[in-house]
Amino acid sequence: MSDALPTHLIHHPYTPPEGFDAMSPGVHKASTVFFPDVNALRTREWKDKSGYTYGLHGTPTTFVLEERIASLEGGRHCVLTTSGLSAISLVDMAFLSQGHEVLLPDNAYGPRKAFAAGELARWGITHRFFDAMNPADLEAKIGPATRLVWLEAPGSITLEFPDLPGLVAVVQRANEARGDDSRVLTALDNTWGAGIAFNAFELGIDISAQALTKYPSGGADVLMGSVVTRDERLHQEVLLCHMRLGIGVGANDAEFVLRGLPSVALRYHAQDAATRALAEWMQHQSGVAAVLHPALPHSPGHAYWKRDAKAAACLFSAVFDDAISQQQIDAFCDALRLFRLGWSWAGPMSLCAPYHVPSIRTTPWPHQGGLVRFAVGLEAVEDLRADIAQALTVLRT
Ligand SMILES: *Cc1c(COP(=O)(O)O)cnc(C)c1O
């Protein structure tokens, strides 16, 4: 068997119940798990998946999903959480204490910035932003209190693709002068790459968090997150924090994600091709000042994407001409029929949302015009193109 991802995910090891060998893993649901005797109750271990003790700490269904997500991302261990956002906050809570500082890319996913500004700040954990496109800025911002550096590739909304190995190297240099207990860790929000566009661990990243809500589910009907690691010690810290927080996932949600996994690579590449076609076409439409997508040659960080990634996800952003008002852009979004207004992406249905970039970042933004982010679904590309074309006529009136 080759190590091609789809084959690997479809023929992933699974031990079926005696006499019931089938493609799909069973859906096991429980809060209570019975122990045969007191000795078993005292000694049974769930942390290494050698046993089951309580529904919150894992079921046969969630253990299988964890193993497959770890495989998908080229990691060794996985912990499932209730959403992508809770996967990110779990990493923060597992590794940060009062007096520590976490560094975030300026173009990070918005709600994760809100967690730092709201909860982390109240707990005496500071955060600062760095320009993800400038490793020297990260270097300047790593201080004695820094313990964690988050990365995102590409940035949310504005889709700049950073020099991941360059940023990791900055952290590695800072760690040369530090002892093991003050080591700075790197964590990546890997929702966009999904384990398919690139292998985060081969780029030197310590921890990968992903919103399984997006590609692995693929159905726009589940919220779930994952934290994947290769290092056993890091995994144990994530696992213990997760156990203390009580954020285990339900078996029916795990079932939906398991159902989505065999087609994840197929969907990723199909949506990639459709998105590139639309992004390229969009560049030539009047009223459009710039189209942001890592595979487009002028898009920020294109060279890093080309060097480090094999594919691109289903997102592109269009920046409109300065002369086009927010009202016209809103009317354009309202005129779209197939692209529905809403958050999230990587489901079957195309989505879009307008953003005001200057209010969501501090680093300079070169454009004046408004931005709309498009998430391309699984509809026929020609229908999506026609939908944007008809809405553009509304924009121009
Ligand atoms: C959607 C998303 C998340 C959060 O996922 P939820 O499951 O909605 O909490 C985190 N990071 C990125 C980049 C996302 O797009």
Taking the complete model, does pTM exceed 0.85, yes or no?
yes
pLDDT the model gives residue 125 = 98
72's CB contacts (< 8 A; 6+ apart) are 5, 9, 194, 195, 196, 216, 261, 264
Q: What angle, rounded to 10 degrees, do the helices at 381-396 and 264-283 form?
A: 30
Q: Is the CB of 225 under 6 A from ligand 1?
A: yes
Same domain, residue pair 43 and 88? yes
Kindly state whether residue 26 falls inside one of the protein's structural domains. no
pLDDT the model gives residue 2 = 75
pLDDT the model gives residue 180 = 84
Pairing of strands 351-355, 371-375: antiparallel
Same domain, residue pair 256 and 268? no
Which residue's C-alpha comes closest to atom 3 of ligand 1? Answer: 84
Which residue's C-alpha comes closest to atom 8 of ligand 1? Answer: 84
pLDDT the model gives residue 3 = 75
Centroid of ligand 1 to alpha carbon of 91 (angstroms) = 14
Ligand 1 atom nearest to CA at 156: 13
Mutate which of 83, 107, 109 for ligand 1 pocket (most atoms within 8 A of beta carbon): 109
Answer with the one of 243, 263, 283 that is the final residue of a domain.
Answer: 263
User: Residues of the chain whose pLDDT is less than 50?
Assistant: none
Same domain, residue pair 302 and 192? no
Distance CA 78, CA 70 (A): 5
pLDDT the model gives residue 110 = 94
Q: Is the CB of 223 under 6 A from ligand 1?
A: yes
Find where tokens 């680093």 sit.
Answer: 363
Distance CA 4, CA 60 (A): 25
pLDDT the model gives residue 179 = 86
Q: Is the CB of 85 under 6 A from ligand 1?
A: yes
- SS3 assignment, position 156: coil
Answer with the one of 263, 290, 322 that is the final residue of a domain.
Answer: 263
Same domain, residue pair 143 and 127? yes
pLDDT the model gives residue 8 = 87
What is the side-by-side order of every strand in the sheet holding 340-341? Answer: 288-292, 315-320, 371-375, 351-355, 340-341
SS (H, E, C) 302-363: HHHHHHHCCCCCCEEEEEECCCCCHHHHHHHHHHCCCCEECCCCCCCCCEEEEECHHHCCCC
